[in-house]
Chain A
Amino acid sequence: MRTQEGQSAAETRLKALMLAALAGDATAYRALLSDLSAHLRAYYARRLAERADAEDLVQETLIAIHTRRASYDPAQPFTAWLHAIARYKLIDHYRRAKLRRTLPLDEAGALFGQSEHEAADAARDLAKLLDTLPQTRRALIRHVRIEGLSTEETAARTGLSPSAVKVGVHRGLKALSALVKGRPP
């Protein structure tokens, strides 16, 4: 529901900006492009391993939006237009990178469900959840799963044995997933 509402609000706002931009309003156009770059950055970042690739694709997509803006039909939803372009650029990137992978079907909502603000929300939620764990376990999850340290590095830092680190992380994750599942959706 949240995604749908977010999308229709985005549709109204972005379409108004796009129509102004097509009429030649450069201020509306800049506002539109910076708004889109945040959405696109989140969209590509979640689908690409390299941060730099995502930023390149954001720029390439902005240029495509600019040079092909005549292809937007004001009778159609703006978000569908944008999503089709973003997806096309993503597929094109995979092809150029010679990565053969299938792209799951996603809807235009995928671009608007999660912008960078929502990624920040998610980080905050995660921190809250972690706070409910005992301190040692919390530190272990932070080291291994968030900072990306190896089991050995974490063992050296915390003074625990490597197998104790593994068990601690495993139990901590189990407790976290129980917490998440126990909550009302």
Chain B
Amino acid sequence: MKTEALIDRLGETLRPVPRGAAARILLLGLSAGAAASFVLMVCWLGIRPDLTAAVATFPYWMKFAYTLALACLAFWTLQRLARPGVRAGTQAALEILPPAAIGVLAVLQWNAAPAALHTHLLMGASHTVCPWRIVALALPIFAGLLWSMRRLAPTRPMLAGAAAGLLAGAAGAWIYAFHCDESAAVFVAVWYSFGIALTGLLGAVAGRWLLRW
């Protein structure tokens, strides 16, 4: 086809694009995925029975804040990576802050605790399942984000995949925290972070192939 003919045809199919359309596409994928993940968590694992008592404690809000802050930063990074010609280095670098904060809390807790408690702080009662459940709960969210990103234009598919994976992992961990009753900062800093990092890694690999256009 001649390029002039192509331009005419594209002109005929032009529809207005509302302002903020890109953010809306991303939020749609994210919220659809998160809703699916929440339903999965309730049906598969169940909300922790002591939730009403737990909301009055520090560890509950620590997990809540850690995962939510990381999710927000990852979303900020992702919506920049979805747009060609927009730098995302600062946003990506800021993502280190929530893990750093939880790391500091973990070190303080570790040093303050008697050595006999160290194993318990680190392993809790669920370290064998925690990271894998986070990955599983992240998958529907990652699928939703893939749907969004394929409608946008990530020029660095691997990085965009990693950011989408991190966001899915952090949001999945946030949802998992409604089930999980671990309360040690050490446990969260190690096993939550491991699950989230694993999802980010999976996202990078998947993004490399699935986010091409």
How many residue pairs link A and B with beta carbons under 8 A? The number is: 88
Residue of A nearest to B7 (CB): A33
Give 1 or 0 for each of B1-19: 1 = CB within 8 Å of chain A CB: 1011011101111111101
Interface centre among A27, A29, A82 (most CB of B within 10 A): A29
Given contacts A71-B82, A73-B83, contact A85 B155 (CB under 8 A): yes
Give 1 or 0 for each of B144-160: 1 = CB within 8 Å of chain A CB: 00000001110100000
Tell me how many residues of B have a C-beta within 8 Å of chain A: 29
Q: Are B3 and A70 in contact (CB under 8 A)?
A: no
A120 at interface (Cβ–Cβ under 8 A)? Answer: no
Residue of A nearest to B23 (CB): A73
Residue of A nearest to B149 (CB): A71
Q: Are A77 and B85 in contact (CB under 8 A)?
A: yes
Q: How far does the Cβ of B51 sit from chain A's closest Cβ, in whole Å? A: 39
Q: How far does the Cβ of A81 sit from chain B's closest Cβ, in whole Å? A: 4
Q: Are A68 and B152 in contact (CB under 8 A)?
A: yes
Q: How far does the Cβ of B75 sit from chain A's closest Cβ, in whole Å? A: 15
Contact residues, A61-107 vs B (CB, 8 A): 62-64, 66, 68-74, 76-77, 80-85, 87-88, 92
A152 at interface (Cβ–Cβ under 8 A)? Answer: no
A58 at interface (Cβ–Cβ under 8 A)? Answer: yes
Q: Are B86 and A85 in contact (CB under 8 A)?
A: no
Q: Are B11 and A26 in contact (CB under 8 A)?
A: yes
A117 at interface (Cβ–Cβ under 8 A)? Answer: no
A22 at interface (Cβ–Cβ under 8 A)? Answer: yes
- A87, B153: Cα distance in complex, Å: 12
A1 at interface (Cβ–Cβ under 8 A)? Answer: no
Which secondary structure characterizes the binding site on chain A? helix
A residues in contact with B6, CB < 8 Å? 59, 62-63
A residues in contact with B15, CB < 8 Å? 24
B3 partner, pick from A21, A59, A74, A92, beta carbons under 8 A: A59
- A94, B64: Cα distance in complex, Å: 45
Given contacts A22-B17, A30-B11, A73-B83, contact A88 B3 (CB under 8 A): no
A residues in contact with B151, CB < 8 Å? 68, 70
Interface centre among B4, B13, B213 (most CB of A within 10 A): B213
Given contacts A76-B85, A85-B84, A92-B212, contact A21 B14 (CB under 8 A): yes
- A85, B154: Cα distance in complex, Å: 9
Q: Are B25 and A76 in contact (CB under 8 A)?
A: no
- A16, B103: Cα distance in complex, Å: 48
Q: How far does the Cβ of A43 sit from chain B's closest Cβ, in whole Å? A: 14
Q: Name 12 A/B residue pairs within 8 A (Cβ), A-sorted.
A: A27-B11, A30-B11, A62-B6, A62-B7, A64-B153, A66-B10, A68-B213, A71-B83, A82-B84, A83-B85, A85-B155, A92-B212
* Chain A interfacial positions (CB closer than 8 Å to B): 21-24, 26-27, 29-30, 33-34, 37, 55, 58-59, 62-64, 66, 68-74, 76-77, 80-85, 87-88, 92, 108
* Chain B interfacial positions (CB closer than 8 Å to A): 1, 3-4, 6-8, 10-17, 19, 21-22, 25, 82-86, 151-153, 155, 212-213
Q: A24-B14, A62-B3, A74-B19 are in contact. List 10 more A-B contacts (CB 8 A).
A: A58-B3, A59-B3, A64-B153, A66-B10, A71-B22, A71-B153, A81-B86, A84-B155, A85-B84, A88-B153
